[in-house]
Amino acid sequence: MLIHVIQYHGPATGSTAGLSAPAGIALDVAGRLYVANWCANSITVYSAGATGNASPVTTIGGSNAGLDHPLGIALDTAGRLYVANSFGNSITVYAAGATGNVSPVATIAGSNTGLSGPWSMTF
């Protein structure tokens, strides 16, 4: 149902936008923009239609979040957020509406997964 996913890796601008080497973006069904910030180990979320130097409405990140240089992101039809962590060799999954220094509801990692520097995600 959702599933606009785009990859970009480049410099960030804007003093209040909270961007730090934005690497992947996804839109949810309400039009909110989710951005994987590679250098900040965070996900910033912006209101539908946000433009310019917009502040995020929420951010996922911190020591509990399990983010390790996130690149690819996607949302499923239930609103769960999936993040490909390029340095962590993992996929972290967050509950719909997750915010702050929240732990993932699931983590896919380990030698049996075959993950090695994942940097793309789609449904």
Q: What is the pLDDT of residue 122?
A: 81
Residue 3 confidence (pLDDT) above 60: no
Q: How confident is the model at residue 5 (pLDDT cuts 50, 70, 90)?
A: very low
Q: CA-based angle 21:27:30, to the nearest 5?
A: 140
CA–CA distance, 95 with 102 (Å, rounded to integer): 9
Residue 107 confidence (pLDDT) above 70: yes
Tokens 């599933």 label which residue? 3
Does the domain spanning 4-109 belong to CATH 2.30.250.10?
Answer: no
Q: What is the pTM of this model?
A: 0.86
Q: What is the pLDDT of residue 8?
A: 41
Across 58-85, average pLDDT: 97
Per residue in 35-56, pLDDT tens? 999 999 999 999 999 988 899 9
